[in-house]
Amino acid sequence: MSIKENDVHILFTGYSRPDSNDSSAMRANCTCTLIRTRNGRNIIVDTLTAWDGERLTEALQNLHGLKPEDIHVVVCTHGHSDHTGCNYLFRSAQWHFMGACVSNRDKYLDCPLSRGDSEPFQLCGDDVVVVRTPGHTLNCVSVLVRGTNLGEVVGVCGDLFERVEDIMDPTIWLEAGSENAESQRIQRLRMIEMCNYIIPGHGQGFAVTENMRELLRQQVNSNNTK
């Protein structure tokens, strides 16, 4: 009998662009991802803005037959408002990750991840783990999912990657804001070496190619020689 996969579904594809009517503003919302593990756990990664509750509830129900109470874990890759807005829907979840900070109600977990260690936090054995990927913010995390419908290893990386185009053009992720660009460059390489498929913070998921890996190696190396 074949073992069921861990399914990774993009519920909403994020975006970020200048506001067409207001030159002092941006429009942005995150890519929102649902992970359904082979042992029946449902994990949501990045929960849009606080104004998206209805469409998120509808997408879970219509596409997956899930209610907010069916979500076991919420992971926000970092604490920005376009990645955390609908956390309030998922009050039955065991844990809410706000980056590396893990809580339920007023209870805050003291674990290696929240203390800053590089040790992965297992959400479903080795199949689904949360790892620190500091850069965009110092508290950023990514979720790694193994054995999936989208490839052997999927990285749900938040704003470590803005969108696929930022591999060719690093000004895209730098201009989106980085609290530590050097760390972000190294973490981007680490994730792309490890993953076959990456879901960025504000764009479509993409399959990783050897050419992409080589570009990010060059970006780390050329920065080291500066």
User: By the criterion CB under 5 A, which residues form the site for Zn ion?
Assistant: 159, 201
- Name the residue nearer to Zn ion (CB basis): 68 or 201: 201
Neighbours of 11 (CB within 10 A): 19
- Name the residue nearer to Zn ion (CB basis): 37 or 183: 183
- Name the residue nearer to Zn ion (CB basis): 201 or 205: 201
How far is residue 214's CA from residue 55's CA, in Å, rounded to a whole number? 39
- Name the residue nearer to Zn ion (CB basis): 81 or 122: 81
Report in angstroms how near the CB of residue 14 gets to Zn ion at its nearest. 7
Helix (H) or strand (E) holding 7: strand 7-12
Alpha carbon distances (Å) from 154 to 29, 111, 130, 151: 21, 24, 12, 6
Report in angstroms how near the CB of residue 125 gets to Zn ion at its nearest. 29
Residue pointed to by tokens 């609908």? 86
Give the residue among 75, 16, 38, 21 at the shortest CA–CA distance from 201.
16
- Name the residue nearer to Zn ion (CB basis): 90 or 173: 173
- The residues near 3 (Cβ < 8 Å, ≥ 6 apart) are 38, 147
Report in angstroms how near the CB of residue 178 gets to Zn ion at its nearest. 12
Residue pointed to by tokens 């519920």? 11
Q: Which residue has its beta carbon closest to Zn ion? A: 159
- Name the residue nearer to Zn ion (CB basis): 46 or 127: 46
Q: If you count them, how many residues does the chain have? A: 226
Report in angstroms how near the CB of residue 122 gets to Zn ion at its nearest. 25
- The residues near 1 (Cβ < 8 Å, ≥ 6 apart) are none
129: three-class secondary structure by DSSP: strand
Report in angstroms how near the CB of residue 154 gets to Zn ion at its nearest. 19
Report in angstroms how near the CB of residue 24 gets to Zn ion at its nearest. 19
Give the residue among 194, 186, 136 at the shortest CA–CA distance from 162.
136
